[in-house]
Amino acid sequence: MAGAKEIRTKIASIKSTQKITGAMQMVAASKMRKAQDRMASSRPYSEKMLQVISHLARATPEYRHSFMAIERPLKRVGYIVVSSDRGLCGGLNSNLFRRLVIDIKEKRAAGAEPAFCTIGTKALGFFKRFGGEVLAQVTHLGDKPHIEDLIGPIKVMLDAFEAGKLDAIYIASNQFINTMTQRPAIQQLVPIVGEEQAEMPHRWDYIYEPDARTVLNGLLTRYIESLVYQAVVENGACEQSARMVAMKSASDNAGNLISELQLVYNKARQAAITQEISEIVSGAAAV
């Protein structure tokens, strides 16, 4: 009966693992809903801001901010890499890093050296192994990221851009398609890629206080911050839904494993009983 006991402890340990993954799945499901709400509520801000910026850009064409300048030849590019702080969320982070490595290779082939700003511990850990120049980092944003925590790292990147040390800044993060699908994506942050809109039907302009330039500067910085914030929040929603899916499949796998082991256990028990009976019968026959 030694085999049966071993199998029983194995089943017990898998059952407790299943309980843990089941609990994590439920926690992730409830967090996911909140993260999705947060994602939706951050949209109006940046949409409104883009509206105002595109109006300003058209109203004062003589002033071009460096963030809106025409593209420079790429010698050095910056990546803001948004990752999760915790693991156990399937291939979410590794898919993103794989996508990023491909992009970096392309940029290197074109003669552009990369520099990074990492958000989240996973990205930081990745660049520690992968190597690469990390200009700024921020970790442990928690489930409710705040824009305050992002201001510093973003400023480092924007300052580098304005000083001419970076020729473009990209943001690498996961896009939330639906609960089952998250897509790693790399988007250009600066120079701002704005779609050229048709001429204004009625020519009008704002009264600026103190002046157009100051207002535009303030708006652009905030706009970029809000884009990064959105990416962070979206990545959070991706993390939770990826974790939910990963934990669900882990629970299912544990269930399959348990039923298989249960079968093996039952067979072993049956065999032991049969053996015992045959021993008793043969013993009785001997007497």
Partner 1 sequence: MAMTIHVDIVSAEGAIHSGLATMVYATAELGEVGIAPRHTAFISRLKPGDVRVENEQGEQEHFYVSGGMLEVQPHLVTVLADTAIRAANLDEAAALDAKRRAEESLAGQTAQFEYAKAQVELAEAIAQLRAIEKLRKMKG
Nearer to partner 1, 136 or 245 (CB): 136
Number of residues this chain uses to bind partner 1 (CB under 8 A): 44
204 near partner 1, rule: CB under 8 A: yes
Locate 15 and state its tokens. 């059952």
| Residues numbered 8-47 forming contacts with partner 1, rule: CB under 8 A | 38, 41-42, 44-46
Locate 72 and state its tokens. 């420079």
DSSP type of residue 142: -
How far is Cα 4 from Cα 268, in angstroms, rounded to an integer? 6
Q: Which residues contact 161 (CB under 8 A, 6 or more apart)?
A: 66, 67, 78, 167, 168, 169, 190
164 near partner 1, rule: CB under 8 A: no
- Bridge-based pairing state of the strands 133-138 and 182-190: unpaired
Q: What would the x/- binding string for partner 1 be over residues 246 to 285, using CB under 8 A? A: ----------------------------------------
Picking from 82, 24, 8, the residue whose alpha carbon sits closest to that of residue 240 is 24
Taking the complex as a whole, how short is the minimal distance between the CB of residue 240 and partner 1, in angstroms?
17
- The correct pick among 28, 77, 123, 136 for binding partner 1 (CB under 8 A) is 136
155 near partner 1, rule: CB under 8 A: yes
Taking the complex as a whole, how short is the minimal distance between the CB of residue 131 and partner 1, in angstroms?
10
93 near partner 1, rule: CB under 8 A: no
Taking the complex as a whole, how short is the minimal distance between the CB of residue 145 and partner 1, in angstroms?
9
DSSP string, 11-41: HHHHHHHHHHHHHHHHHHHHHHHHHHHHHHH
Taking the complex as a whole, how short is the minimal distance between the CB of residue 34 and partner 1, in angstroms?
12
201 near partner 1, rule: CB under 8 A: no
- The correct pick among 71, 106, 162, 205 for binding partner 1 (CB under 8 A) is 205
Taking the complex as a whole, how short is the minimal distance between the CB of residue 132 and partner 1, in angstroms?
10
Name the packing angle between helices 43-59 and 2-41 (round to 10°): 40
Q: Exposed e or buried b for every residue in 95-132, given b needs 16+ CB within 10 A? A: ebbebbeebbeebeeeebebbbbbbbbbbbebbeeeeb
How far is Cα 14 from Cα 20, in angstroms, rounded to an integer? 10
Taking residue 1's Cβ as centre, other Cβ atoms within 10 Å add up to 11
153 near partner 1, rule: CB under 8 A: yes
Residue numbers at the binding site for partner 1 (CB under 8 A): 38, 41-42, 44-46, 48-49, 52, 56, 117-118, 124, 128, 134-139, 146-148, 151-153, 155-156, 159, 204-210, 214-215, 218-219, 222, 225-226, 229
